[in-house]
Structure 1
Amino acid sequence: MSLESETAMPVNEVQGVDYVREADVGIRAFASPNLSGFSGIIKQRYLDFLVNEIDSSGNAVHLTDLEPSSAPSNAAQTEEEAQNPPITNKQIMDELAGLVGAAKAEEIKAMLDEEAKERIVETEEETDKAKRTAIHQFIKEHLGKTLTTETRGNNIIKIRFKTAADQRDRRNQRAKYGEFDQLGGNCLEFVLYKENKDTMEVVNNLARTLRCQPKVFGYAGTKDKRGVTVQKITAFKIHAERIAGLNRTMSGCRFGNFRYVRDPLRLGNLKGNRFTIVLRNVHGANEEDIVKSLSCLKENGFINYYGMQRFGTASTPTNEIGRLMLQEKWADTVDLILRPRSGENEMFTRARKLWADTKDAEATIKLFPKRAVAECQILHAFAKRGSTKDALGAINAIPRNLRLMYVHAYQSYVWNCAASERIAKYGQEKPVIGDLVFEKNADTPDMADVELDDVDVDRKMPKVLVLDTNTIDNYTIYDVVLPQPGHKVIYPTNEIGIFYEDLMAKDGLNPHEMVRKVKEYSLTGAYRKLMAKPNDLTWKLMRYSDAEVPLTLTDLEKLEGKVQMEHANGFPDSQDGEHLAVVLELSLQTSQYATMALREVMRQETSSAFQSLQNPTKRPLEESSSANSDADEPIVQKARLDEPV
Structure 2
Amino acid sequence: MIPEIDCQIGISVYSTKFPGIGGRIRVKPEDFQVTELISEKIKNSINDQNGYAVYKLKKKKIDTNHALSGIFRQKGIRLKSLGLKDASAITEQFVCSGNKGKSIESFSSDKYSLEKIGFVKKPLSKKDMVGNHFKLKISDCKNDLESFVEFDKILNFYGYQRFGSKRPVTHLIGKAILQMDFDRAVDLILSFTSSYDSKENNEIREKLSDRENYQQYFDQVPVQMDIERIVLKEMIEHGESVRAIRAIPISLRRFYIQAYQSFIFNQSLSAAFLDGENLFEAQSGDVCFDHNGIIGKYVKGMDQNLALPFVGYSYYKKTRFDFQISKILKQEEISPKDFFIKEMQEASSEGGFRQAAIHCTDYSSHGNVVEFSLSRGSFATILLREIMKPDDPILAGF
TM-score computed with the length of structure 1 as normaliser: 0.56
Is 1:22 the counterpart of 2:6? The answer is yes
1:97-112 equivalent positions in 2, closer than 5 A: none
- How far residue 315 of structure 1 moved from its aligned partner, in angstroms, is 3.8
Amino acid of the residue matched to residue 521 of structure 1? Answer: A
Is 1:191 the counterpart of 2:46? The answer is no
Between structure 1 and structure 2, the one with the greater Rg is: 1
Correspondence for 2:224 among 362, 368, 371? 371
Is 1:271 the counterpart of 2:126? The answer is no
Is 1:313 the counterpart of 2:165? The answer is yes
Q: C-alpha offsets along residues 75-106 of structure 1, whole Å, 9 cap, x if unaligned?
A: 5xxxxxxxxxxxxxxxxxxxxxxxxxxxxxxx
Q: Distance in 2 between matches of 1:535 and 1:431?
A: 17
Partner of 1:598: 384
Amino acid of the residue matched to residue 51 of structure 1? Answer: V
Partner of 1:617: none
* CA separation of 1:205 and 1:361: change in aligned 2, threshold 3 A: farther
The residue matched to 2:40 in structure 1 has which SS? coil
- How far residue 223 of structure 1 moved from its aligned partner, in angstroms, is 0.7
Q: C-alpha offsets along residues 216-262 of structure 1, whole Å, 9 cap, x if unaligned?
A: 32111111221000001123454323xx35x2xx3311111442334
Partner of 1:204: 69
Correspondence for 1:490 among 289, 313, 316? 316
- How far residue 394 of structure 1 moved from its aligned partner, in angstroms, is 0.8
Tell me the percent identity: 23
1:528-567 equivalent positions in 2, closer than 5 A: 528-541=354-367
Q: CA contact under 8 A between 1:326 and 1:521: conserved in structure 2?
A: no
Identify unmatched segments of 5+ residues in structure 1.
1-10, 13-19, 61-72, 76-182, 449-461, 466-470, 542-581, 613-631, 633-645
The residue matched to 1:302 in structure 2 has which SS? coil
Q: Distance in 2 between matches of 1:229 and 1:394?
A: 35
Q: CA contact under 8 A between 1:348 and 1:367: conserved in structure 2?
A: no
Q: CA contact under 8 A between 1:447 and 1:529: conserved in structure 2?
A: no
Amino acid of the residue matched to residue 155 of structure 2? Answer: I
Q: CA contact under 8 A between 2:280 and 2:357: conserved in structure 1?
A: no
Q: CA contact under 8 A between 1:426 and 1:432: conserved in structure 2?
A: no
Q: C-alpha offsets along residues 519-570 of structure 1, whole Å, 9 cap, x if unaligned?
A: 12322101111112311111111xxxxxxxxxxxxxxxxxxxxxxxxxxxxx
- How far residue 39 of structure 1 moved from its aligned partner, in angstroms, is 1.4
Correspondence for 1:229 among 85, 91, 111? 91
Amino acid of the residue matched to residue 399 of structure 1? Answer: P
- How far residue 304 of structure 1 moved from its aligned partner, in angstroms, is 0.8
The residue matched to 2:165 in structure 1 has which SS? coil
- How far residue 36 of structure 1 moved from its aligned partner, in angstroms, is 2.0
Partner of 2:147: 292
Partner of 2:331: 506
The residue matched to 1:28 in structure 2 has which SS? coil
* CA separation of 1:500 and 1:261: change in aligned 2, threshold 3 A: same
Amino acid of the residue matched to residue 589 of structure 1? Answer: S
Partner of 1:588: 374
Q: Distance in 2 between matches of 1:268 and 1:74?
A: 20
Instruction: Report which stretch shifted further, 517-526 or 225-234.
Output: 517-526
* CA separation of 1:405 and 1:338: change in aligned 2, threshold 3 A: same
1:244-259 equivalent positions in 2, closer than 5 A: 244-245=106-107, 247=108, 250-259=109-118
- How far residue 605 of structure 1 moved from its aligned partner, in angstroms, is 5.0
Q: C-alpha offsets along residues 501-531 of structure 1, whole Å, 9 cap, x if unaligned?
A: 2211222211355322121232210111111
Partner of 2:249: 399
Q: Distance in 2 between matches of 1:531 and 1:523?
A: 23
Partner of 1:52: 35
Q: Distance in 2 between matches of 1:434 and 1:523?
A: 28
Amino acid of the residue matched to residue 195 of structure 1? Answer: K
Q: Distance in 1 between matches of 2:282 and 2:129?
A: 32
- How far residue 211 of structure 1 moved from its aligned partner, in angstroms, is 4.5
Q: Distance in 1 between matches of 2:325 and 2:284?
A: 14
- How far residue 30 of structure 1 moved from its aligned partner, in angstroms, is 3.4
- How far residue 433 of structure 1 moved from its aligned partner, in angstroms, is 6.6
Q: C-alpha offsets along residues 324-366 of structure 1, whole Å, 9 cap, x if unaligned?
A: 1111100110011111524433542453344334645455332
* CA separation of 1:601 and 1:431: change in aligned 2, threshold 3 A: same
Is 1:240 the counterpart of 2:93? The answer is no
Amino acid of the residue matched to residue 296 of structure 1? Answer: E
* CA separation of 1:313 and 1:296: change in aligned 2, threshold 3 A: closer
Q: C-alpha offsets along residues 415-436 of structure 1, whole Å, 9 cap, x if unaligned?
A: 1111111111124476587862
- How far residue 396 of structure 1 moved from its aligned partner, in angstroms, is 1.2
CA RMSD of aligned residues (A): 2.9
Q: Distance in 2 between matches of 1:321 and 1:395?
A: 10
* CA separation of 1:531 and 1:189: change in aligned 2, threshold 3 A: same
Q: Distance in 2 between matches of 1:601 and 1:529?
A: 20
Q: C-alpha offsets along residues 355-379 of structure 1, whole Å, 9 cap, x if unaligned?
A: 3346454553322222223211112
Correspondence for 1:355 among 178, 191, 208? 208
1:379-528 equivalent positions in 2, closer than 5 A: 379-383=232-236, 386-388=237-239, 390-428=240-278, 431=281, 436-438=286-288, 446-447=292-293, 462-464=295-297, 474=301, 479-494=305-320, 496-511=321-336, 514-517=339-342, 518-528=344-354
Partner of 1:31: 15
Partner of 1:323: 175
- How far residue 27 of structure 1 moved from its aligned partner, in angstroms, is 1.6
Q: C-alpha offsets along residues 15-53 of structure 1, whole Å, 9 cap, x if unaligned?
A: xxxxx6112222233333x32222121112121000000
Q: CA contact under 8 A between 2:18 and 2:387: conserved in structure 1?
A: yes
Partner of 1:217: 79
Q: CA contact under 8 A between 2:254 and 2:348: conserved in structure 1?
A: no
